[in-house]
Structure 1
Amino acid sequence: MATVCAISPGLASAEAPVTQGELLANSCFSCHGYEGKAVEGATIPPLADYPASLIVSQMKAYRDGERDGTVMPRHARGYTDDEIERMAEYIGKQGQ
């Protein structure tokens, strides 16, 4: 990896947001379905059906106490704006 980064340093930084977004989004998939796709019989919404902008606004609302929920406010509190945006970008691409 160091060789690849030394040869093309932009490559590592260009991939980092997607990689981090994917890693962060994995915590969502245990409830919202693999890659944000529906789990049969579940009442939890499949995130891949929503645009990244909506995921960002809702995650921030949960985090900032503007939206109630049972589990989501606790999960959302642990994320920065940047992490939420990267996660939402990755999830948003799953529905395409």
Structure 2
Amino acid sequence: MKIKNPVPKLAFLLAITASSLAHAQSNASQQTLYTRSLAATCANCHGTDGRAVQGSAVISLAGMDRSYLATQLKAFKSGARPATVMHQISKGYSDAQIETLADYFAAQKK
């Protein structure tokens, strides 16, 4: 009776699993990089990760309610909320990008 060697099959399955995990991790890191690059566009006024400098007239975005933030960005974009520069900046974002920004800043600690 001949016994088959399970090592090649196991090695193949491990390679496929590792490849799938690496691909998933790559996609996650690409999304993270994309989100952080969007958030970086807000840093000039609202501070790194949405934490404005203390005493600044500009509000901090970190920890803000995500739905409130998304609503306000969309109001700037449509012109429903008056602004000095936010209406110009927000027009550059798609609704999906606004949702991404709202999720990101809501998740940041104050």
Check whether TM > 0.5.
yes
Which residue is equivalent to 1:81? Answer: 95
Identity %: 32
Structure that is richer in helix per residue:
1
- Match among 38, 62, 65 for residue 51 of structure 1: 65
The structure number with the bigger radius of gyration is 2
Matched-pair contact (CA < 8 Å) for 1:52–1:88: yes
Q: Which runs of 4+ in 1 moved over 2 A?
A: 4-19
* Structure 2 counterpart of 1:60: 74
Q: 1:5 to 1:23 in 2, by over 3 A?
A: farther
TM-score, reference length from structure 2: 0.72
Alignment check: 8 A CA contact 2:76 2:86 kept: yes
Unaligned runs of 5+ in 1: none
- Post-superposition offset of 1:7: 5.6
1:39 maps to which of 45, 53, 69: 53
Give the aligned CA root-mean-square deviation in angstroms: 2.1
